[in-house]
């Protein structure tokens, strides 16, 4: 079977160039601010936030169980609200960090475009 010919003089997608990376400590002492520290810290911040939000949800669920003995309606409502609050908090943190990382990616892409011209 014969292969169709490739594009001839047409549009080809650009190849994504990965910016050179430095370690965290080396980025801290980059006085030209060519390498951003925040980008490397986002993963750590997100993991810490997940742990804290999960611990908060566990405590909230525990209070919901304790409320069952005192006020059944309040206990049930707290137990129903616990996973909803967890999802809302995780979504809020994720959306905020994604917005932040997109700002840095825009900066990187603008720098690549500037360096090409």
- The model's pTM is 0.68
88 is a domain residue: yes
Q: DSSP code of 85?
A: H
75-115 pLDDT per residue, tens: 999 999 999 999 999 999 999 999 999 988 888 888 888 88
Q: What is the mean pLDDT of residues 1-27?
A: 60
With respect to residue 37, please indicate whether it lies within any of the assigned structural domains: no
Does some domain include residue 15? no
CB neighbours of 20 closer than 8 A, spacing ≥ 6? 35
Number of domains in the chain: 1
In a domain, 102, yes or no: yes
Indicate whether 22 belongs to any domain.
no
Give mean pLDDT, residues 45-73. 95
Burial of 78 (0-12, 13-18, 19+ CB in 10 A): buried
Is 76 a member of any domain?
yes
The reply to whether 74 falls in a domain is yes
Query: In this structure, is residue 60 part of a structural domain?
Result: yes
**Structural domain that includes position 91:** 43-116
């Amino acid at each position: 079977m014969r292969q169709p010919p490739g594009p001839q003089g047409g549009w080809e997608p650009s190849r994504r160039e990965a910016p050179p990376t430095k370690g965290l400590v080396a980025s801290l002492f980059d006085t030209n601010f060519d390498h951003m520290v925040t980008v490397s810290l986002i993963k750590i911040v997100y993991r810490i936030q997940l742990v804290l939000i999960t611990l908060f949800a566990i405590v909230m669920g525990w209070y919901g169980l304790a409320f069952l003995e005192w006020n059944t309606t309040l206990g049930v409502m707290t137990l129903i609200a616990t996973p909803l609050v967890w999802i809302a908090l995780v979504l809020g943190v994720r959306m905020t960090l994604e917005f932040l990382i997109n700002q840095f990616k825009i900066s990187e892409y603008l720098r690549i475009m500037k360096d090409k011209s």
